[in-house]
Structure 1
């Protein structure tokens, strides 16, 4: 026989109910609900403190699943990455986490390092339904991500977007052209290009912009080193290509992390970080390039603006209309010692 009074709230893992918390805190159950909600519904600080103190005393934890069934929102956002050692992504994540938490969202990091991994997630099902998925992985396409998370909303920062999902991308053209122009004004006539993960549509576009800019400014591309990713280690290995007597006038890397590796591998060519054999350019404008150890000339964009666009889509999904073009954030060139 079920003796639970009609309308009683579900018990938490400790057996305490919302009604128990409301009774101890001397408030209504509606106030208890608002105290635990991320929605900006009014509740006085004094009442919130009473509710939280009562909940702690009783060991009560709110039933987030039940809340999500009521509100149709989970307040969870998935961030889908290939891995988390790309320094360019790490630079963004602190800003991104702050923006998501300001919206009352919590972030789940999902690491996907191959197409098979995406398909495995899809076959096995994902444990979380999310309000939005933010996709940095170039192995993922928008339709698959929406299916993975049982969410209609995926914001594509890399990967393969489609007309049903918004996309936010850096517009590399201005920054890369300015970097190449800077090099030619300093006498550069030959160049090498150190590339990253060429499966990435963003990387493919970036490479094409470099090739066009080099041709436009009369610079001959004499060498391409396919590092395969954007890590410091790959850049360091690529640096071995530039230790011989015959080197190009400039080396352009499609990431700052790779450029940092090249710089360390070729420190003998950069006394006090100044070029003696070839000039060195990166991409991402990492925060580390503002320090004396890695003063790399670089192409970057306003990360706060980039995150603001992402946050706007998460907060206001209806601001996107299917078929809208990607939102582009302009890049700029920052001159430092290595260039």
Structure 2
């Protein structure tokens, strides 16, 4: 009876060490997600022993020893844009590859960020990746009580690393393409005007229009979603439509394209040219061959994960890491 109870008890690190024939310290190092010295032969023995016993690492106990929990907070406004789907699967994979796990925190407004602080929400994480443009670097550092906060939304300061796409490059290439096709007038369908990233994006379009002699005849505000592009289409491309419509997300361009399929026989433009932004994977398929502006998402994720894996890669005051963008022509232009 005692023997049966012993066999059914939850295995400990001491049990693993005994079965593997190593010290408790060696077993702990072999099972750690951190890069800690242990020979390959001993690590293999420990892993085999752990598997045989059904041992699982107690992450809470490990965190008390290493002062890390291997958790990364990813702060977002929401996850429903099509561009999120292309990015976050890759981000999760790369984060897990360095031994970290992700928790998602949705922030719907500035008030929500302040509410987290007022209520003393203190998620114990090693670092945070901040996509939400409602959150600034200083607030997030306080929120998580962590100095390692990687900003991806433009609301950074000198104390936090920043990784952002260099959007002006791709935007100027897209507008230059339109000018080469004889475009003289354009409409711009934008996202939320309060976003610093969107403000910079709009400024880049205005600069490119001015440089290439294209008149901006209409601006309509959407929210990056397919629905907002679909709703904007009748007003933007009515009887007196512009030569080209530029959207600051591919999802909005998809909404416009679906409303105006008759203007794109075989997906080729007849009344106006259509440009998106994000270079979604969907634009490589026949249903939505939208000319777009994109960047290397693998490089984007790699740069942000680099700071998570090695916090010493950043020094205060370091300029943002810029990911170059490029124009990708497809049928709609």
* TM-score with structure 2 setting the length: 0.92
| C-alpha deviation, 1:249, in angstroms | 0.4
The match for 1:20 is 15
Given the superposition, is the C-alpha separation of residues 36 and 337 from structure 1 closer, same or farther in structure 2, using an over 3 Å criterion?
same
Match of 1:86 in 2: 81
Provide the rounded CA distance (Å) in 1 between the counterparts of 2:181 and 2:226.
27
* Match 1:273 to one of 253, 267, 272: 267
Using the alignment, how far apart are the partners of 2:44 and 2:126 within structure 1?
31
CA–CA distance in 2 between the matches of 1:124 and 1:63? 28
* 2:31 corresponding residue in structure 1: 36
Partner of 2:310: 316
Distance 1:127 1:146 in 2: 11
Aligned residues: 322
Residue-by-residue CA offset, 1:175-224 (whole Å, 9 max, x unaligned) = 11111111011111000000012221111100000011001111110000
1:76 aligns with 2:71: yes
Q: Per-residue deviation at 1:96?
A: 1.4
Farther off after superposition, 302-311 or 139-148: 302-311
- Equivalent position to 2:165, from 170, 179, 192: 170
Residue pair 2:166, 2:325 contacting (<8 A) in 1 also: yes
- 1:74 Cα deviation after fit: 1.7
| Structure 2 CA distance for aligned equivalents of residues 318 and 46 of structure 1 | 31
Residue of 232, 238, 243 corresponding to 2:226: 232
User: How far off its partner does 1:159 sit?
Assistant: 4.8
Distance in 2, matches of 1:266 and 1:34, equals: 61
Deviation at 1:126, TM superposition (A): 3.2
Runs of 4+ aligned structure 1 residues displaced above 4 Å come to none
Instruction: Work out whether 1:289 is the aligned partner of 2:287.
Output: no
Secondary structure of 1:118's aligned partner: helix
2-structure distance, mates of 1:156, 1:115:
16
The runs of 5 or more residues in structure 2 that have no matched partner are 1-8
Q: Alignment partner of 1:53: what SS?
A: helix
CA shift, 1:26, in A, is 4.2
Q: Distance in 1 between matches of 2:213 and 2:267?
A: 27
Question: What is the RMSD of the two structures over their aligned residues, measured on CA atoms?
Answer: 1.7
Q: Could you say which residue in structure 1 is the equivalent of 2:117?
A: 122
Match of 2:137 among 142, 147, 154: 142
Distance 1:48 1:239 in 2: 62
- Does residue 209 (structure 1) correspond to residue 180 (structure 2)? The answer is no
TM-score (norm 1): 0.90
Task: Tell me which moved more, 44-53 or 211-220.
Answer: 44-53
Q: What residue ranges of structure 1 are gaps of 5+ in the alignment?
A: 1-13
Shift of 1:147: 1.1
* Distance in 2, Cα, partners of 1:304 & 1:147: 30
Per-residue CA deviation, residues 45-93 of structure 1 (Å, 9 max, x unaligned), is 641343322441xxx5433223222212221111111001122222111
1:112 aligns with 2:89: no
